């Protein structure tokens, strides 16, 4: 096949498609490659290139000594191949097509492959080199061949969630801190202060606070990152068994590499993304728990390829040299595409063959896997967003305000500099006789230029560096308040709330969107058998002697199951009448629990005599089988042919004849068994509407009664299931069984024909009753959600689970009295688009929505959105959400979601959670909060403005990535409505007061400039300037920022509407800043001109005039300190001993320091540093001076006090009303808000049947999952891809079954919610009246 041309032997063109052209490149020309008509020339040799049409282009780079050849070639078809393939040193390099060994498709091989080649007279020769995949399009992994795998430079298994290391911390952290405009601003000021000719203040007044701020922030960031490093080390140093040179050796996780063969043992975490090769179970099966990936705690099954399932021996594993070619690293948890090449054959690979990092091996003694993806390239880490530098909205506003202030500062500097230039030109020259100018300063213009910079330094205290020190201190203190809050401490697990960051506290008071996980966050992930209906009787409620239903509490006595030695002691049931029916041998009750004990795919493991452990496909099945166990029908063991029960103490073995498995279309499961009496029975459980259609007419009356019971159960948010049975004639069953065996042998349309057979036998069943399972919510969930909704906080549930709808009903997020529930379940982009736009049309009542090609504003009229008073819910599943997040649909999704009161996203991946959060962040100017408890929530937590982790059953991964953490979702209510609102209000008041007092303090210099020849002379003593923000006024404002409360914590929770002030950003914004600064400017004007005017006409007691500047400075300084102290006293709503101490103590400290620094003694020691000798004593001994100070204070304070009085009494805000109410009821004590969980009637039932997945009945009956020598204890979780049919079915049957009581119950539910929502407004209106 070799074709030589121009001295270039050994270049071959394979069959199929041909290289068509070589693009001319400057790289080619300069690195030894020249293009010729029929090919390219390398060091004098020509390689021919045939020509044909070009469609697909790729780039291949080859290193040839010091020269690099870059070839840009094209192929006729995407199936054609292109590569530089070297079989070894001395062999020719093939450039060819389909028939060439080792070639790759052009369409996939777009990554540049760099190899080392020499051109010799014998052709292209390969040198040792590495392959660098700039953009990996497919992955090549060869087992037990590190030399081969190392060429691709795949990531190792080390993970890194930290931001810094010892070398990068200082530059990166400084860069992040200097992103704060104020820090950069003070750095520039420091540089200016180091220039003696323009500096009026000492440089240490700026550098010490600046270093302090940078140091405090750096220490905090370093501490946070240290804990991330610690967590990384903990994970990276976990031990794993790796097959190395024929033996298993313990290796740290971080040393595991792609291509290694790793052994896992039961209950071990999977170290990397592995291809399952073999296991201790038959047929290469193994069981895993994926809670950290998708939040589901039920087990899932994985199965190795048949060809590798027998590689249990270490020698066989060492000889295994298969090569896997698969997709590149990605974040798709439910998808994997690859091929195994081994012994000349190809074997397809999918997700069912993969064990992903983060999973836990369960009920499997051991298994071996081959590492495909490691470290940061694993699917778990690909779903973990990067750690981002989070800043609050107030931080961002402060950056803008600092720029404004700096511009204002520059304007003042320019005005004063121009004034100085004019003054020097007209007047200043007259003083040259005794005030000589420096030689370099003999120009009035240049003098004005220097004066500009001098005034920039003097006036810089409008934004003092102490502001940022104080802000960091306040944030740190607010974090400690959260940590110390005993009302957020969860004693059962000894877990207190923890603020893991100190920079986001005030952001907690501005949250508008909460994105919550379901499993472990809203629920305890525990299914409890709560109630049942058997033969028309309900069980589960308890009644008193008057026949009134009694609420079940922790103190309620449980049923005694001591008669059953095999009972599960953790199971609790409160209605003793069911036990009595069991003991009376009620046939219907016995048959009911017999169905629960037989009709399932649960596996049982008896670790010791009577110690049974059930492994269930879903928590529902486990709860039902456990209930049957406690009521005397104990499932003990199973084989492929039998099921063994212990019925009321007697061992009974049933022959398992067939399992009619569950799937999303059938929504039911049946088993056919033969009892010891030889009777053949079919037992079935499933959705009520499905079972009711297949009942015998004799069960009609019972069906109506059971339907009423189901409505009651569903009204309480319980997950219901209906049970039925059928007696089968043996002859009929034999005929049916033959049909089943035949259908099982066919290939085409097998599933459809099986469905027909199942439908045939599942008819004329007799109804037994129904079960009601509670997906146990965490304590206080409905009340917390109701309270947060009243605070106008929107809660979206984003879960990887399938059961979000039932939780929505349990939490009262979904109710039957909602106007509409929009279920988005389209499989294509067009379907999803149509569903979203139909929902939007329905809500807005529009006749049309703009076509996809038209550009419209996402929210063309916000008033339309605010005017929507009806309640809607949006439910969307993962595959539909993937389309809805496309750029052309994301606006439609956000529009509809924001119009709905409730949004539930089911079966979403971790990355989709983050994308939804990012969508809201990007298009809505709202603060977002994400809360979760598992590793699958990390990406969402990192993406949101605020991340909250719950230390739950799924580990601490979410906590480690979060900004705040606690043990229960209900504590979120207190975190936001109390701590968040207080932090925001305190910070806003602190900033407003700080700007006010510093403008009042600083702008006195501006007014003084017009009376001192614009000479940059300061009004105050330099020590007063230094100590004003550090000593005299720092503690009072800190006390207000730490302890002030507009209303108490109890009233903050009682009136959630108070929270809206933060969402609307009303307490501190650009308008509030302008008002504060305007008040400060006015105060500075009064502070200067009232004493100035008074001193011009005032005389001392001895008749002399006040002419000295020092007395003037002391008078203004004293007036200033008194004014700002009185003002902060008027602004303080919640007085503590600390407030009194700091305010009045600061005044006393001021006078003490003033008299000390201006005393004779201090002057005699430091005559150059304390020139104001005796000024305070002489000035403040004059009564007229005190009258001036009093006049100044009154004139400065009274206008603001009057405005505040008028506003509170004529235009009171909600806060003012609640504060007034609180003061009037302080002796009585406020009443607790009663947000009790209301009873709701629903037409929706059988959540279990709508959410359950395809079962593993076939796997059980085949025996593949069982050892022949013993009964396996493993369970059989879902395997097939989830379906969205349950969404469509829900939409169809939403209003099929309803009772007259539904409407009244819905009305009472709505009334209860409305009552809670309007309670505050009614009380406050009466108060204002």
SS3 for 11? strand
- Positions of E strands within 337-405: 338-342, 345-349, 354-355, 360-362, 366-373
Structure confidence at residue 448 (pLDDT): 87
Backbone angles phi, psi at 63, to 5 degrees: -95, 120
**905 - beta bridge partners?**
798, 876
CA 1050 to CA 1166: how far, in whole Å? 56
Query: What is the tens place of the pLDDT at every residue in 1161-1180?
Result: 777 777 766 777 778 888 88
Per-residue tokens: 563? 């008669």
Q: Angle, nearest 10°, between helix axes 444-458 and 393-426? A: 150
User: In this model, does residue 567 exceed pLDDT 60?
Assistant: yes
User: In this model, does residue 978 exceed pLDDT 50?
Assistant: yes
Backbone angles phi, psi at 41, to 5 degrees: -110, 130
- Looking at residue 1115, what DSSP letter applies? H
Per-residue tokens: 725? 């049975």
Structure confidence at residue 31 (pLDDT): 34
Backbone angles phi, psi at 281, to 5 degrees: -85, 155
Average pLDDT over residues 127-135: 40
Q: Which residue has the tokens 């550009």?
A: 855
Q: 9 near 72, Cβ under 8 Å?
A: no
Per-residue tokens: 708? 């009423």
Structure confidence at residue 1263 (pLDDT): 67
User: In this model, does residue 90 exceed pLDDT 60?
Assistant: no
Structure confidence at residue 517 (pLDDT): 85
Backbone angles phi, psi at 76, to 5 degrees: -65, -35
Average pLDDT over residues 242-267: 92
CA 728 to CA 1117: how far, in whole Å? 102
- Looking at residue 1233, what DSSP letter applies? P
325 closest CA partner among 102, 107, 123, 113: 102
Q: Which residue has the tokens 């207000």?
A: 1040
Q: How far is CA 824 from CA 880, 881, 919, 1158, in A?
A: 7, 8, 18, 78
CA 1014 to CA 417: how far, in whole Å? 7
Backbone angles phi, psi at 1284, to 5 degrees: -105, 10
Q: Which residue has the tokens 């109390």?
A: 978
Per-residue tokens: 195? 């220039």
Query: What is the tens place of the pLDDT at every residue in 617-648?
Result: 777 888 999 999 999 999 998 887 889 999 99
More confident of the two residues 120 and 636: 636
Helix (H) or strand (E) holding 771: strand 766-777
Give the pLDDT band (50/70/90) at residue 860. Answer: very low
Strand 8-11, strand 3-5: pairing: antiparallel
Catalytic residue among 80, 485, 517, 895: 517
Q: Angle, nearest 10°, between helix axes 1300-1328 and 781-790? A: 50
Structure confidence at residue 1192 (pLDDT): 95
Q: 1296 near 689, Cβ under 8 Å?
A: yes
User: In this model, does residue 441 exceed pLDDT 50?
Assistant: yes
Q: Angle, nearest 10°, between helix axes 465-484 and 204-236? A: 40
CA dihedral sign, ordered 632, 637, 639, 640: positive
3-state class percentages of the chain: helix first, strand second, coil last, to nearest 5? 45, 20, 35
* pLDDT more than 70, % of the chain: 76
SS3 for 846? coil
Structure confidence at residue 671 (pLDDT): 94
Structure confidence at residue 478 (pLDDT): 93
What number of residues does the chain have? 1329
CA 73 to CA 53: how far, in whole Å? 11
Average pLDDT over all residues of the chain: 78
CA 791 to CA 903: how far, in whole Å? 17
User: In this model, does residue 99 exceed pLDDT 50?
Assistant: no
* pLDDT more than 90, % of the chain: 37
Q: 1281 near 334, Cβ under 8 Å?
A: yes
Query: What is the tens place of the pLDDT at every residue in 1229-1238?
Result: 545 444 444 4
1189 closest CA partner among 1122, 1092, 1103: 1122
SS3 for 202? coil
Per-residue tokens: 1150? 């001021």
Per-residue tokens: 1281? 């891809």
Q: 1233 near 647, Cβ under 8 Å?
A: no
Q: 259 near 156, Cβ under 8 Å?
A: no
Cβ neighbours of 866 (radius 10 Å): 8
659 closest CA partner among 1254, 56, 72: 1254
1193 closest CA partner among 1129, 1144, 1120, 1098: 1120
Clarify whether 395 is annotated catalytic.
Answer: no
Q: 71 near 115, Cβ under 8 Å?
A: no
Q: 1188 near 1099, Cβ under 8 Å?
A: no
Average pLDDT over residues 287-298: 73
SS3 for 606? strand
Helix (H) or strand (E) holding 708: helix 700-715
Among 411-425, 713-727, 1072-1086, the minimum mean pLDDT is found in 713-727
Average pLDDT over residues 251-258: 93
Order the strands of the 299-303 sheet from edge to edge.
Answer: 299-303, 285-289, 360-362
User: In this model, does residue 823 exceed pLDDT 70?
Assistant: yes
């Amino acid at each position: 096949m070799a074709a030589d041309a121009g001295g270039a032997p050994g270049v071959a063109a394979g069959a199929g498609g041909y290289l068509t052209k070589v693009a001319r490149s400057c790289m080619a020309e300069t690195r030894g490659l020249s293009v010729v008509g029929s090919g390219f020339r390398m060091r004098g040799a020509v390689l021919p290139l045939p020509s044909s049409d070009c469609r697909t282009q790729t780039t291949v780079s080859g290193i040839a000594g010091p020269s690099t050849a870059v070839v840009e070639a094209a192929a006729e078809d995407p199936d054609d191949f292109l590569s530089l393939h070297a079989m070894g040193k001395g062999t020719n390099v093939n450039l060819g097509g389909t028939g060439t060994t080792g070639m790759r498709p052009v369409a996939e091989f777009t990554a540049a492959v760099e190899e080392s080649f020499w051109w010799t007279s014998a052709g292209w020769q390969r040198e040792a080199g590495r392959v660098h995949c700039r953009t990996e399009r497919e992955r090549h992994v060869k087992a037990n061949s590190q030399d081969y795998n190392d060429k691709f430079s795949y990531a190792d298994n080390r993970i890194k969630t930290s931001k810094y290391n010892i070398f990068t911390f200082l530059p990166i952290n400084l860069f992040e801190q200097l992103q704060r405009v104020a820090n950069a601003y003070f750095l520039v000021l420091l540089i200016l202060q180091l220039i003696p000719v323009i500096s009026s203040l000492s440089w240490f007044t700026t550098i010490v606070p600046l270093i302090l701020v940078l140091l405090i922030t750096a220490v905090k960031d370093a501490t946070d990152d240290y804990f991330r490093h610690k967590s990384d080390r903990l994970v990276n140093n976990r031990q794993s068994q790796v097959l190395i040179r024929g033996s298993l050796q313990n290796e740290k996780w971080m040393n595991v590499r792609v291509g290694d063969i790793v052994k896992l043992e039961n209950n071990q975490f999977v170290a990397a993304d592995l291809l399952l090769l073999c296991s201790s179970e038959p047929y290469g099966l193994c069981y895993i728990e994926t809670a950290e990936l998708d939040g589901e705690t039920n087990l899932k099954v994985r199965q190795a390829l048949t060809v590798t399932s027998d590689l249990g021996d270490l020698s066989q594993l060492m000889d295994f040299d298969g090569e896997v070619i698969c997709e590149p690293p990605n974040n798709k948890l439910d998808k994997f595409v690859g091929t195994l090449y081994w012994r000349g054959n190809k074997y397809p690979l999918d997700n069912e063959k993969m064990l992903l990092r983060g999973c836990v091996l369960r009920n499997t003694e051991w298994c071996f896997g081959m590492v495909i993806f490691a470290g940061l390239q694993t699917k778990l880490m690909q779903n973990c967003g990067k750690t981002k530098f989070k800043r609050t909205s107030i931080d961002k506003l402060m950056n803008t305000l600092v720029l404004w202030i700096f511009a204002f500062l520059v304007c003042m500097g320019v005005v004063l500099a121009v004034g100085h230039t004019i003054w020097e030109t007209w007047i200043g020259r007259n003083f040259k006789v005794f005030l000589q100018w420096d030689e370099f300063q003999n120009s009035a213009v240049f003098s004005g230029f220097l004066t500009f910079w001098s005034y920039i330094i003097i006036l810089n205290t409008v934004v003092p560096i102490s502001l940022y020190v104080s802000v960091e201190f306040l944030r740190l203190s607010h974090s400690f308040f959260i940590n110390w809050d005993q009302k957020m401490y969860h004693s059962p697990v000894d877990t207190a709330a923890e603020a893991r960051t100190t920079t986001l506290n005030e952001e907690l008071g501005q949250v508008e969107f909460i994105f919550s996980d379901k499993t472990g966050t809203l629920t305890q992930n525990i299914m409890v058998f709560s109630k049942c209906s058997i033969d028309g009787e309900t069980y589960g409620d308890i009644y008193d002697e008057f026949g009134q239903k009694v609420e079940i509490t922790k103190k309620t006595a449980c049923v005694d199951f001591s008669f059953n030695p095999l009972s599960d002691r953790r199971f609790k049931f409160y209605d003793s009448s069911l036990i009595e029916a069991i003991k009376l041998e009620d046939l219907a009750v016995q048959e009911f629990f017999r169905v629960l004990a037989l009709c399932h795919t649960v596996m049982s493991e008896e670790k010791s005599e009577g110690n049974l452990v059930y492994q269930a496909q879903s928590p529902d099945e486990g709860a039902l089988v456990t209930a049957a166990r406690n009521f005397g029908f104990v499932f003990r063991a199973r084989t492929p042919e039998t099921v063994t029960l212990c019925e009321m103490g007697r061992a009974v073995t049933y022959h398992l004849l067939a399992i009619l498995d569950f799937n999303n279309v059938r929504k039911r499961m049946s088993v056919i068994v033969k009892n010891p009496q030889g009777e053949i029975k079919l037992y079935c459980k499933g959705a009520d509407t499905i079972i009711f259609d297949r009942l015998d007419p004799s069960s009609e009356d019972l069906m109506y009664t059971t339907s009423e019971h189901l409505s009651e159960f569903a009204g309480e948010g319980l997950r219901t299931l209906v049970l039925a049975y059928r007696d089968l004639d043996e002859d009929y069953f034999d005929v049916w069984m033959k049909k089943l065996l035949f259908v099982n042998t066919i290939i085409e349309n097998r599933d459809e024909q099986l469905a027909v057979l199942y439908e045939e036998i599942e008819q004329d069943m007799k109804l037994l009753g129904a079960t009601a399972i509670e997906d146990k919510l965490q304590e206080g969930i409905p009340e917390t959600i109701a309270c947060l909704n009243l605070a106008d906080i929107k809660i979206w549930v984003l879960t990887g689970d399938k059961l979000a709808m039932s939780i929505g009903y349990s939490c009262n997020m979904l109710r039957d009295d909602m106007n509409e529930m929009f279920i988005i379940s389209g499989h294509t982009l067009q379907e999803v688009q149509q569903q979203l736009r139909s929902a939007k049309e329905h809500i807005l009542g529009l006749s049309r929505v703009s076509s996809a090609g038209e550009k419209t504003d996402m929210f063309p009229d916000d008033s339309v959105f605010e005017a929507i008073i009806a309640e809607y819910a949006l439910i969307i599943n993962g595959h539909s959400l993937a389309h809805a997040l496309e750029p052309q649909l994301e606006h439609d999704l956000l529009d509809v979601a924001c119009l709905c009161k409730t949004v539930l996203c089911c079966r979403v991946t971790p990355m989709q959670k983050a994308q939804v959060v990012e969508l809201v962040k990007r298009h809505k100017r709202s603060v977002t909060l994400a809360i979760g408890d598992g590793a699958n929530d990390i990406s969402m937590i990192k993406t949101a403005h605020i991340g909250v982790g719950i230390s739950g059953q799924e580990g601490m991964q979410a906590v480690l990535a979060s900004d705040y953490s606690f043990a229960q979702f209900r504590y979120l209510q207190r975190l936001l409505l109390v701590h968040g609102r207080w932090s925001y209000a305190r910070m806003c008041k602190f900033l407003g007061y700080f700007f006010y007092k510093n403008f009042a303090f600083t702008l006195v210099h501006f007014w003084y400039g017009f009376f001192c020849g614009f000479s940059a002379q300061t009004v105050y003593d330099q020590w007063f300037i230094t100590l004003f923000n550090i000593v005299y006024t720092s503690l009072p404002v800190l006390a207000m920022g730490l302890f002030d409360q507009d209303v108490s914590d109890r009233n903050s929770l009682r009136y959630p509407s108070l929270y809206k002030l933060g969402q609307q950003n009303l307490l501190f914004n650009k308008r509030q800043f302008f008002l504060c600064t305007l008040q400060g400017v006015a105060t500075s004007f009064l502070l200067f001109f009232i004493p100035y005017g008074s001193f011009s006409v005032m005389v001392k007691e001895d008749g002399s005039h006040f002419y000295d500047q020092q007395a003037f400075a002391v008078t203004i300084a004293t007036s200033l300190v008194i004014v700002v102290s009185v003002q902060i006293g008027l602004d303080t709503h919640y007085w503590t001993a600390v407030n009194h101490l700091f305010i009045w103590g600061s005044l006393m400290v001021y006078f003490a320091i003033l008299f000390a620094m201006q005393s004779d003694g201090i002057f005699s020691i430091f005559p150059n540093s304390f020139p104001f000798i005796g000024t305070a004593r002489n000035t403040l001994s004059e009564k007229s001076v005190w009258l001036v100070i009093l006049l100044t204070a009154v004139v400065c304070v009274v206008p603001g006090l009057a405005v505040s009085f008028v506003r509170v009494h004529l235009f009171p805000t909600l806060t003012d009303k609640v504060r007034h109410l609180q003061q009037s009821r302080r002796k009585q004590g406020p009443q607790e808000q009663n947000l009790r969980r209301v009873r709701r009637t629903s037409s929706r039932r059988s959540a279990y049947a709508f959410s359950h997945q395809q079962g593993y009945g076939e796997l059980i009956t085949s025996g593949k999952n069982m050892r022949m020598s013993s009964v396996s204890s493993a369970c059989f979780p879902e395997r097939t891809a989830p379906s969205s049919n349950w969404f469509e079915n829900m939409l169809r049957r939403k209003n099929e079954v309803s009772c007259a009581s539904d409407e009244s119950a819905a009305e009472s539910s709505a009334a209860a919610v409305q009552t809670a929502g309007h309670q505050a407004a009614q009380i406050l209106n009466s108060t204002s009246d």
